[in-house]
Amino acid sequence: MKLSALHPQCLPLVAVLLLGPTGSLIPFAAKAEIQGPVCRGTLLQLNLRESGESRTESFRFNLRLESEASSSAAALEQLSGRLARLRVALEPLVIGGLVIPAPNTYATGGSAQSKGYRASTSITGTVGRSNYDSLIERAGRLEGVRLQGMTSLPSAEGQDRLQDQLLERALQRGRRQAERTAVALNLRRVALLRIDQRSHSTARPSPMAVSAAERFRPEEAPLPKASLSLALDYCLN
């Protein structure tokens, strides 16, 4: 790559020089009609991505409750009884309330003689770190209950703090890359023209069995993860 070919005075108006997968250099004249701030030099466009993890504050759990009987009504009655016992066992541990949709029923078995009926529903809720192991153990002792996973959740403050850290890291990395590019082109000034930010938070589901003998530790669960995408425009001259 020749440095002389990078200078805006030597480039055609429609030429674009790529700097790897994350940036491009475009002469100002080619972008003047669609850019807001005026750049009387070389426009450097960067696309950056940062990611990180934050401390788990609570967990969202997902349970499946099932029952089976010779008739649909009997299956529903059995499911209702199991659900009542589940509420007694888990509600003292839950933050807020349980979310329980209406049940489903369906026939099982191939012939009329062996035909049965099954009823099922799901239960979701949130539990704090201190009740993480207790909820898993209690759910494991209840008949007809399957624990389908626990999802790590950050606190609102922890999530905001992580987003601030990711933004700071992305801006610092963008500035360093812009300054290195300016030095390579024998240019002296670097000015930030535009910031386009996209933030993403990712809950971390953790499927687990409820029959394990040892205690489950909240610090061993996957941490909540967040990412930030940043598009930066710099003017180099």
Give residue limits of the domains in the chain: 3-54+156-236, 58-154
Split at pLDDT 50, 70, 90, the class of 203 is: low
First to last CA, the chain: 19
Split at pLDDT 50, 70, 90, the class of 99 is: very high
Quote the percentage of the chain above a pLDDT of 70. Answer: 76
- Give the model confidence (pLDDT) of 157-179 as tens digits: 888 899 999 999 999 999 999 99
Segment among 31-45, 82-96, 207-221 with least mean pLDDT: 207-221
pLDDT of 158 reads 86
Query: Are the beta carbons of 54 and 223 closer than 8 angstroms?
Result: yes
pTM: 0.61
Rg (CA), the chain: 29
pLDDT of 212 reads 40
- Give the model confidence (pLDDT) of 63-75 as tens digits: 999 999 999 999 9
- Give the model confidence (pLDDT) of 14-36 as tens digits: 333 334 344 555 554 444 444 46
Query: Are the beta carbons of 158 and 57 closer than 8 angstroms?
Result: yes
Helix axes 72-90, 132-141, angle to 10 degrees: 150
d(CA 3, CA 154): 47
DSSP string, 53-101: E--EEEEEEEEEEEEEESSHHHHHHHHHHHHHHHHHHHGGGEEEEEE-P
CATH number assigned to the domain with residue range 58-154, chosen from the 4 options 3.30.70.360, 3.30.830.10, 3.40.50.2300, 3.90.1150.10: 3.30.70.360
More confident residue, 10 or 57: 57
Split at pLDDT 50, 70, 90, the class of 216 is: low
pLDDT of 201 reads 64
Residue 49 has pLDDT above 80, yes or no: yes
pLDDT of 23 reads 52
d(CA 37, CA 21): 24
CA distances 93 to 5, 31, 128, Å, are: 67, 58, 8
pLDDT of 31 reads 44
pLDDT of 185 reads 93
CA distances 196 to 35, 117, 231, Å, are: 13, 55, 5
Query: Are the beta carbons of 226 and 169 closer than 8 angstroms?
Result: no
User: How large is the average pLDDT for residues 66-87?
Assistant: 95
